[in-house]
Amino acid sequence: MRDFFARLRGMNSRWQYVILAAIVLLFPLIVRSNRWVQVANFFFIYAMLGLSLNIILGYAGLYQLGHAAFYAVGAYTTAILSTHFDVPIFVLLPISGVLAAIFAILISRPILHLRGDYLCIVTIGFGEIVRIALRNDVSSLAFLANIPGLAFLRERLETAVITGGPNGIMGIARPRILGLVFRQQWHYYYLFLAFVAFTIFAMRRLEDSRLGRAWTCVREDELAAEAMGINTVHVKLLAFALGAAWAGVAGSLYASWVTVIAPESFSFWESVVMFCIVVLGGTGSIPGVLVGTVGMVVLPELLREVLLNIQQWRMLIFGAAMIFMMVVRPEGLWPSQRFRRELELAKEMATPGS
Amino acid sequence: MALLEVRNLHAYYGHVHALRGISLTVEEGEIVTLIGANGAGKTTTLRSISGLLRPREGEIVFDGEVINGVPAHQIVYRGICQAPEGRKIFSTLTVQENLNMGAYSLGNDRAAIEANRRRVFALFPRLEERKNQIAGTLSGGEQQMLAIGRALMARPRLLMLDEPSLGLAPMLVRAIFQTIREINEQGVTVLLVEQNARAALRLADRGYVLETGRIVLSGPARELLGDEKVRKAYLGES
C-alpha cells in the first residue's frame, strides 16, 4: 500500500495527466449511468467543500468543525433569493460566496484568539446554531411580541416564512446559460467539474502565495509569525473568509442542483464528513483532499452497492476504516510534504535519546 | 537622542508583577546587554518592546515615537526585529523559506530581499551551504544562526536577541558572539539578553543588571565586569 502511493506520487509523466483528463472528461459517457454521474457530482461538491475547509484547517491550522454552517449560508442565500426574487443562479453564486464570507468574518472574529480544541468546540456550537435557526425559521422570533408595544408583530412573525423551517425550501431555479438549462445529471457534471478545476487551480496559487506562507507560519508558531511582521489576526480571518466563501459557492451550486434544501442537509454530520475528508486525505494537501473525498463520499456509495442487503453495516465498516487509518497512516492518504515533516519532527522529539 | 528609550515600564503576567519600573536607553550603534538570573524580567522587557506583551504602565520610545500599544506585527515595520528565546524557527520549512519569512515585512521587493539574503549568507556561510535543508534538522548552533539571520532579513535598525547562547557549546557561543559584533559593525544596534553574563559583558558597550523586575545596576560593560557584586552574583567568582 505504502509503495503504491509512493509510486503514484513519484510518477509525473505527461501521459498520466492526459489519461486522467480523458477519463474525467468522458466519465458520463463511459459509465452511462445517471446514478454514477450523480455520485460523481456529489464527489465534486464535497471536493469543493473539502478544499475550502482545507484553507482553514490545513493551511492555517485552525480546527473548524462547523463548516456546514458556511455551506448552509451559501445554499440558503441562493434558495431564498432564487425563489423570492427570481435572481439567476449564476448571479447568485458570487453573492452566496460573499455572504458566507461576511457571515464567517462576523462569527469568527470574536473567537479567533481561541486555540486548538477550544476553537473546535465553539465552531461546533456555531454550526448547530445555524442549523437550528434554519429549522425554527422566523417564528422563533415570535417571543419578541411579548415585549410591550410589539404585540402587533405577533401574527406577522408567527406566519412569516423565510427559511421554511424543517421543510426547507423547494423549487429553487436551475442554472441557465445562453438558453441552455441545466437539467440532466451530466449537465451538472460538467458545470461542477469546471468549478472544481478552477478551485484546484486557485488553491495551487494560494499555497505558493505570500498569504499561503503566512498561514504556514501562523500554523507553526503564532508568536514567531507575529515577530516576522505577520498580522496573525488578519491572516486567520482571511482563512475563515476565503474558506467560507468557497463553501458558500459550493452550497449555492448544491441548492441549484437538488432544487430542494432542508436544514438536515447541513447537520453536524456534514461538518464531520468535511473534517474527515481533509484529515484522512492529508491535511494541507490538494490531492489528499481529493483522495479523502473519494474515501468519504464515493466509497460509502460503492459499499452500498456491494452490501445492499446488509446496509446497516455500512457505517460500521466506515468507522473501522477510519480508526485503522488513524493508527496506520495518521498523516493521511496523500499528505503534503510539509505536514509529513511536521509529524516526523514531532515523533522524533517524542522519542527519547534521538 | 537615544534610538530606544524605555521609561518606568511595568508589566504583569496575570497577577504577577513581572516588571517593576524598568528604565533603559539604547543609543544608535551600541550593543547593550541585559543580564540577570532566571525570572528577573529580561525576556519580559524584550517582549514588551517588541509588542508581544502589553505593558501596563510606562513608555517605550523608538526613534522619537512612542511605540507601546503598537501591535507586534507593526513593530517590525518600524525597524525592530527580534530573534526570540528558544529560537522559534519554522521547523518544517527549509532554511531558505525561513529567511524569506523573515523578509515578510518587505513585501514583494525582490531586490531588497535578495540583497538581505546575500548579507545574511555572508555573515553565516553555513546557512548558505544548508539553504535547502529542513530547518528542524539543523543543529542547535545552526538553528540559532538561522534565527538571527531571519531577524536580519527585515533589515532592522534595532536587533533584539534573546539568549542566543542558550544550549550551545562554548566554542559555538564564541562564534555567535563574534558574528553579533560583525552585525553591529555593519550599523545594526543590538539589544542582547543573556544569562551568560561574562560573554555578554565582554561583547557589549553597556549593560543593565536586572533583579526581580528592577534594574539594580547599570553602566559601561567593562565596569560591570569589574564590579564586585556582579562578579559574585553573575560571574561565579567568590
For residue A9, the model assigns a pLDDT of: 59
- The torsion angle over the Cα atoms of residues A130, A136, A138 and A142, rounded to 10 degrees, is -130
For residue A354, the model assigns a pLDDT of: 38
Other beta carbons within 10 angstroms of residue B122's beta carbon come to 11
For residue B238, the model assigns a pLDDT of: 57
For residue A308, the model assigns a pLDDT of: 61
The beta-carbon neighbor of B92 closest among A210, A224, A341 is: A341
For residue A1, the model assigns a pLDDT of: 52
Cross-chain residue pair B50–A341, CB shorter than 8 Å = no
Helix pair A89-108, A232-258: axis angle to 10 deg:
140
Is pLDDT at A352 greater than 70 in this prediction? no
Give the three cell numbers for residue B78. Answer: 518600524
Contacts of residue B194, defined as CB under 8 A and 6 or more positions apart, other chains included, come to: B33, B34, B35, B42, B163, B164, B165, B200
Give the three cell numbers for residue B176. Answer: 555567535
* Shortest Cα–Cα distance, B82 to chain A (Å): 7
Contact B142, B172 (CB under 8 A): no
Least confident stretch, A6-20, A155-169, A254-268, A330-344:
A6-20
Neighboring chain B residues of A221 at a CB cutoff of 8 Å: 88, 90
* Shortest Cα–Cα distance, B225 to chain A (Å): 32
Is pLDDT at A342 greater than 80 in this prediction? no
For residue A115, the model assigns a pLDDT of: 81
Rounded to whole angstroms, how far apart are CA atoms B121 and B153?
A: 10
Long-range contact pairs involving A343-350 (C-beta distance under 8 Å, separation at least 24): A345/B91, A345/B92, A345/B136
**Which residues from A are below 8 Å from B when comparing CB atoms?**
210, 213-214, 216-217, 220-221, 223-232, 338-339, 341-342, 345
Complex prediction ipTM:
0.84
Is pLDDT at A330 greater than 80 in this prediction? no
For residue A345, the model assigns a pLDDT of: 72
Cross-chain residue pair A220–B105, CB shorter than 8 Å = no
* Shortest Cα–Cα distance, B92 to chain A (Å): 6
Starting at the edge strand that comes first in sequence, how are the strands of the sheet with B65-66 ordered?
Answer: B16-26, B4-13, B57-62, B65-66
* Shortest Cα–Cα distance, A70 to chain B (Å): 30
Question: What averages of pLDDT result for each successive group of 10 residues across chain B (238 residues)?
Answer: 91 90 94 90 92 91 92 92 86 90 88 93 94 90 93 94 90 92 95 91 94 92 88 74
Question: Over chain A, what is the mean pLDDT?
Answer: 86
Rounded to whole angstroms, how far apart are CA atoms A94 and B92?
A: 36
3-class SS at A284? coil
All structural domains of chain B, each given as residue ranges with its CATH number in brackets, are: 1-70+190-238 (3.40.50.300)
Cross-chain residue pair B91–A210, CB shorter than 8 Å = no
Cross-chain residue pair A223–B52, CB shorter than 8 Å = yes
The beta-carbon neighbor of A345 closest among B74, B91, B102 is: B91
Which residues make beta-bridge pairs with B220? B206
Across A136-162, average pLDDT: 78
Cross-chain residue pair A228–B102, CB shorter than 8 Å = yes
Neighboring chain B residues of A214 at a CB cutoff of 8 Å: 104
For residue B15, the model assigns a pLDDT of: 87
> How does residue A177 score in pLDDT terms, banded at 50, 70 and 90?
confident
The beta-carbon neighbor of B76 closest among A216, A220, A229 is: A229
Contact A246, B130 (CB under 8 A): no
Identify the CA nearest to B93 among candidates B128, B121, B131: B131
> How does residue A142 score in pLDDT terms, banded at 50, 70 and 90?
confident
Counting one residue from chain A and one from chain B, the pairs whose CB atoms sit within 8 A come to 74
What does the DSSP assignment read for A135-174? HHGGGGGGGGGGSTT-GGGHHHHHH--SS-GGG-B--PPP
For residue A196, the model assigns a pLDDT of: 96
Least confident stretch, A305-309, A320-324, A332-336, B158-162:
A305-309
DSSP B134: B
Least confident stretch, A17-26, A36-45, A124-133, A238-247:
A17-26
> How does residue A353 score in pLDDT terms, banded at 50, 70 and 90?
very low
Q: What is the pLDDT of residues A37-56, one digit of tens each?
A: 999 999 999 999 999 999 99
Cross-chain residue pair A220–B92, CB shorter than 8 Å = yes
Identify the CA nearest to B31 among candidates B235, B188, B218: B188
> How does residue A2 score in pLDDT terms, banded at 50, 70 and 90?
low
For residue A311, the model assigns a pLDDT of: 59
Cross-chain residue pair B81–A227, CB shorter than 8 Å = yes
Which chain B residue has the Cα nearest residue A339? B92
* Shortest Cα–Cα distance, A121 to chain B (Å): 25
Q: Greater confidence, A166 or A348?
A: A166
Contact A267, A80 (CB under 8 A): no
Which chain B residue has the Cα nearest residue A215? B101
Q: Pick the residue of B54, B88, B101, B153 with the most A CBs within 10 A to test the interface with A by mutation.
A: B101
Cross-chain residue pair A229–B93, CB shorter than 8 Å = no
For residue A120, the model assigns a pLDDT of: 92
**Which residues from B are below 8 Å from A when comparing CB atoms?**
50, 52, 71-74, 76-77, 81-82, 84, 88-93, 97, 100-102, 104-105, 107-108, 134, 136, 150-151, 154
Other beta carbons within 10 angstroms of residue A321's beta carbon come to 15
Cross-chain residue pair A227–B97, CB shorter than 8 Å = no
Cross-chain residue pair B104–A230, CB shorter than 8 Å = yes
Q: Pick the residue of B47, B74, B92, B150 with the most A CBs within 10 A to test the interface with A by mutation.
A: B92
Is pLDDT at A122 greater than 50 in this prediction? yes
Cross-chain residue pair A227–B50, CB shorter than 8 Å = yes
Contacts of residue B22, defined as CB under 8 A and 6 or more positions apart, other chains included, come to: B6, B8, B9, B41, B45, B58, B210, B213, B214, B215
The beta-carbon neighbor of B73 closest among A210, A226, A338 is: A226
Neighboring chain B residues of A231 at a CB cutoff of 8 Å: 71, 73-74
pTM: 0.85
